[in-house]
Structure 1
Amino acid sequence: MSITTGRLLDGWAEQGSPLLVDGRLVTGDRHFETIDPATEEVIGPAADATPGLLDAAIAAARRAFDDSGWAADLALRVHCLRQLRQALVRHGDELRALTIREAGAPRFLTYGAQLDAPVADLGWVADLAETYAWTRDLGRAEPMGIASDRYVLREPVGVVAAITPWNFPHQINLAKLGPALAAGNTVVLKPAPDTPWCAAALGRLAAEETDLPPGVVNVVTGRDHALGARLAADPRVDLVSFTGSTATGRAVMRGAAETLKRVFLELGGKSACVVLDDADLVRACGYAAFAAISHAGQGCALTTRLLVPRARHDEAVEITARTMARIGAGDPSDERTVCGPVISARQRDRVEAYLKLAVAEGGSFATGGRRPDRERGFWIEPTLITGLTNQARAAREEIFGPVLVVLPHDGDDDAVRIANDSPYGLSGAVHSGDPERARALARRLRTGTVSVNGGIWYGPDVPFGGYKQSGTGREMGVAGFEEYLETKSIAEGAG
């Protein structure tokens, strides 16, 4: 599949994708290769930013916030967001092909959360900014006998460092960029080195097809993870919005602590799909199998623990294993594919290490557990692990591969106990023939999102984030928009 024939990516296979710094597209002197995880073919080079270029990007964002009218011009912000959305739609075919090749994303997901949905979400963010109550009147009061008219203003935070992973590059990049810009901030986006072209394409459209002023959006790609640490710690940055592993999130928080800047973290998960004894087992286990291995299990909010009634454990294992084996792993460009490759050889090795660990801990594979018979690419078969307890590392730690662990429970209270017995609290699912029973159990789960009987919680108006070590703050929805705002209270003497 060619992704270099359209204008957006024209010349990148030879010259490399650019950085966006202070309104200019620059390639710099260093490059690194981006790889198709399904074939191991080199897609092309990407600009490898130096610390000097990162410094220039931060300086540009600081200047654009402090010295331009961007932060105060709501009409311009809304106009630019709608321009960006239209540009992404115009280049949708190129972006879809790029996302399949660079991220290994199954084609069907690009019609949802991998591309089309987050592009459409920019329209919702623009509408929110237009209708948002930027000023709230608190009325008159007389503290200490002094008549005062009081009101509250919501204002942008300043310079935002957006540090993003590779698994859903467009969704996560736009979920940070859209609200941050709508709120009046300027942004330095540092994407993961596995998907630099997806971010660079966004930067090119911002530079060439919108009226965004120079420095408002900066995109800095690079293979050195230290760039993200430098960005988070820089005193010119006012807020860090990070999505990635919990371990890296801790490092980001430590780096930002020196300047006491605001930090928003969306981190890992080991979410539970709870099946109750009155559920339709075929439907519930089919849902669990599909959810756990979509995009090769590379989603922080995917349910990767399946909790089933002990009396129906063997039946649930049979149904789930059969479903996972039937789905299999396939070419991400095929519209029928659900589970594509993992992103890299490094990630495949990580998943395989967990599979070996699961066996050492007493587990076995009801299906999968190895690489499929393919000459090239980073592949793992959809895998169902049985025979573990919730204390096993494979049941407690985030694997980020097409791996589902099945655990028995002894009723609703026990299911809640097991589900909540986790360092994470990002998502979850409940299946029951009784909607009220399902809702009651969902309320007891210590997680940021819950699907009940197959409900889909994703949407631009739905706050997303987690409890415990799954992060701090929320992304998307009004709550996510307000992460990028400061609160200022003003009182005027009325005497």
Structure 2
Amino acid sequence: MFCFKNFRQRLNLRYISSLVQSKAYINGKWVKAENNEVFEIINPANGSVVGSVPNMSVNDASQAVQAAKKAFESSQWSMFTAKERSSLLKKWYCLIEENADEISSIMTAESGKPLNEARGEVAYGNAFIEWFGEEARRIYGEIIPSSTKDRELIVLKEPLGVAALITPWNFPMAMITRKAGAALAAGCTIVIKPAEDTPLTALALVKLAEQAGFPAGVINIVTTNKAPPIGDLFCKSPDVEGISFTGSTEVGKLLFRNSSDGIKRISLELGGNAPFIVFNSANLDKAVDAAVSCKFRNCGQTCISANRFFLQQEVHDGFIDLLKQRVESLKVGDGSKPGIQIGPLINSMQFNKVSAYVEDARLKNANIILGGKPLKNLGNLFYSPTIITDVPTNAKLYTEEVFGPVVSIMKFNTEEEVIHAANNSRRGLAGYFFSENIQQVFRVAKLLEVGMVGVNEALISAAEAPFGGVKESGIGREGCHHGIDEYVEIKYICMGNLRY
């Protein structure tokens, strides 16, 4: 049985978890980088080395693509029935469930998120494997009624082929399973490129997929801290039929441009700038609870975190008073310790960004009523939970995604005013509002220019629901039955000159 006491005492996970891997996985084999290079994984809570993984090159990634192509074209995978693919996904789901504690501990060690949050992510991420294990048997075609008597019109859905999955560090398991589950259910083979900060969780998942019995080459994983040339390979290789990327809008645009020559299928889940609106009719207790969970989950490092808080005049002061009480009680520290609710930021680049955005707001005369400073007594990457009011529209906290534990508050008077302000962004991933006025609920939900709306609710993501944004927040949807669509082609068959 896994011992959490030992986890806290012995930070090198290679000695306490059989799921921690030090090699990548290509064509059914655990392999080193071609050049034998490695890079270290650092625990952001204390700076300790958690482990090391291969620092792979374009040549390594190309081998992974070729392995995936061969597996797709051979009877190893393309001839599997939907039931057989479903069965493998279900076995993978069961193995993840059995090893949830170990995966959670690995995730906490490399990402810094509190252990309870890591456990929640394992359950959430595994829900996609379960969901797509079921959806694999429901990828239906169509028979279309013909306008002539001697024809039958048939529509099939066929897998794309090799899909490259590029995933971020903030949800090192769920962002993989949400893509891999759909791709494998559809009949694609995959090459995973996890974030350089958090590859160990990804490797643990692939280890369990190997145990589940996926054939060699169906699932491959390439680890590297030299992502751009490998991303370029995925974009330009004729053997990669689809790319799914979760990350920054800037990188997403680059991948979109670079894959255009091949007219490649691309799915992008990019950055947000989510508004969080509290109307006068709102239940303030529920709104504050939602604000805390939405803003401070994973230290504010989620793409659907509330970024701009708009409070209507009558509830402005009361909301802030309640929020301040709740935020002051949050426990910040090493996520492996009991009771911790907020861990560190992932790395120095993210820490410096959050610090700079707060200082920018300070210089522009915003009012910092709580926090607004590093917590150096805890470590180099901890930042205090922060509340800032009267944020001007030219502040970076207003115009850009902070990706940190900072609440930025603005006051408004009318519904028309706040809708204009909320939509005044090129990002449109998620939006939230709180109101007990049923007419306002339907009106505002339709007017917000986002792909997902939380009404009196902040935890909106689920395996059964479509996840994705509009404007510069992405293309396509993940999760739900729509998630399959990103990995299939539609083939139309016209059968003519039939006799009845």
Same fold (TM over 0.5): yes
Q: For the Cα contact (< 8 Å) 1:304–1:404, is it kept in 2?
A: yes
Is 1:307 the counterpart of 2:310 in the alignment?
yes
Give the 3 Å change call, closer, same or farther, for CA 439–374 of structure 1 in structure 2.
farther
Is the Cα–Cα contact under 8 Å of residues 21 and 219 in structure 1 kept in the other structure?
yes
Partner deviation per Cα, 1:50-84 (whole Å, 9 max, x = no partner): 22111100111111112234123223211211121
CA–CA separation in structure 2 for the residues paired with 1:342 and 1:490: 53
Which stretch shifts more, 442-451 or 156-165?
442-451
Letter in 1 for 2:56: A
Q: Which residue of 2 aligns with 1:92?
A: 100
Aligned to 2:89: 81
The question of 1:369 aligning with 2:372 is answered: yes
Unaligned runs of 5+ in 1: none
Match of 1:40 in 2: 47
Q: Which secondary structure does the structure 1 equivalent of 2:404 belong to?
A: coil
- Quote the offset at 1:463 in angstroms: 0.2
Higher mean Cα deviation, 45-54 or 310-319? 310-319
- Indicate the larger mover: 283-292 or 173-182: 283-292
Which secondary structure state, in structure 2, belongs to the residue aligned with residue 314 of structure 1? helix
Number of the residue aligned with 1:131:
138
Counterparts in 2 of 1:169 and 1:448: CA distance versus 1, 3 Å: same
Q: Helix, strand or coil for the counterpart of 1:483?
A: helix
Question: Hey, what's the Cα distance between the residues in 2 that align with 1:471 and 1:138?
Answer: 32
Letter in 1 for 2:68: A
Work out the CA distance in 1 between the residues paired with 2:17 and 2:397: 45
**Runs of 4 or more off by more than 4 Å in structure 1?**
none
Matching of residue 111 in structure 1 with residue 113 in structure 2:
no
1:385 is paired with a residue whose SS is strand
Query: Does 1:30 find its partner at 2:40?
Result: no
- In 2, Cα distance between the equivalents of 1:374 and 1:437? 46
Q: How does 1:201-350 map to 2 (within 5 A)?
A: 201-207=204-210, 209-226=211-228, 227-350=230-353
Range moving further from structure 2, 427-436 or 465-474? 427-436
Q: Percent identity?
A: 31
Residue identity in the other structure for 1:148: R
Asked if 1:9 corresponds to 2:19, the answer is yes
C-alpha separation in 2, matches of 1:465 and 1:89:
26
Q: How far off its partner does 1:335 sit?
A: 4.9
Instruction: Establish whether residue 65 from structure 1 lines up as the match of residue 72 from structure 2.
Output: yes
Alignment of 1:427-446 (within 5 A): 427-446=430-449
Residue 434 of structure 1: how far off its partner (Å): 2.6
Cα RMSD (Å) of the superposition? 1.8
| Matched position secondary structure for 1:115 | helix
Check 1:31–1:125 CA distance in 2 against 1; reply closer, same or farther (3 A cut).
same
One-letter amino acid of the structure 1 residue matched with residue 18 of structure 2: L
Match of 1:423 in 2: 426
- The question of whether the paired residues in 2 share the 8 Å contact of 1:449 and 1:465 is answered with yes
SS at structure 2 position matched to 1:490:
strand
Q: Alpha-carbon deviations, 1:303-350, whole Å to 9, x = none?
A: 121110134433333332332222142331245333211101121011
Determine the C-alpha separation between the residues in 1 that align with 2:451 and 2:32.
40
The one-letter code sitting in structure 2 at the alignment partner of 1:125 is F
Instruction: Write the distance in 2 (CA, Å) between the matches of 1:182 and 1:305.
Output: 37
Match for 2:60: what amino acid?
L
Task: Name the residue aligned to 1:141.
Answer: 147
Alpha-carbon shift at residue 229 of structure 1 (Å): 2.7
**2:156 is matched with which residue?**
153
Deviation of the 1:447 alpha carbon: 1.0
Local SS of the residue matching 1:258? coil
Amino acid at match of 2:216: P
Matched residue type, 2:410: L
Aligned equivalents of 1:394, 1:229: Cα separation in 2: 31
Q: CA deviation at 1:97?
A: 0.5
Range moving further from structure 2, 163-172 or 455-464: 455-464
- The match for 1:469 is 472
Equivalent position amino acid for 1:128 in 2:
E
Per-residue CA deviations over 1:381-412 (Å, capped at 9, x if unaligned) read 11112222334221110111111210111122
Other structure's SS at 1:97 match: helix
SS of aligned partner of 1:214: coil
**What is the CA distance between 1:439 and its match in structure 2?**
3.3
The reply on whether 1:412 has 2:412 as its aligned counterpart is: no
SS in 1 for 2:137: helix
Which secondary structure state, in structure 1, belongs to the residue aligned with residue 173 of structure 2? helix
TM-superposed deviation, 1:300: 0.2
1:52 pairs with 2:59: yes
SS at match of 1:173: helix
More moved, 146-155 vs 37-46: 146-155
Which blocks of at least 5 consecutive residues in structure 2 are unaligned? 1-7
Match of 2:4 in 1: none
Equivalences, count: 484
Q: TM-score normalized by structure 2?
A: 0.93
* Residues 167-182 of structure 1 mapped to structure 2, 5 A cutoff: 167-182=170-185
- Helix, strand or coil at the partner of 1:327: coil
Q: TM-score, normalised by structure 1?
A: 0.94
Displacement of 1:6: 4.8
Deviation at 1:353, TM superposition (A): 1.3
- Per-residue Cα deviation, 1:345-384 (whole angstroms, up to 9, x for no partner): 1210111111111122222311111111425241111111
Superposition deviation, residue 49 in structure 1 = 0.8
Give distance in 2, aligned partners of 1:246 and 1:184: 28
Deviations 1:267-322 (A, max 9, x none): 00110111001112343134213321111100001112111013443333333233
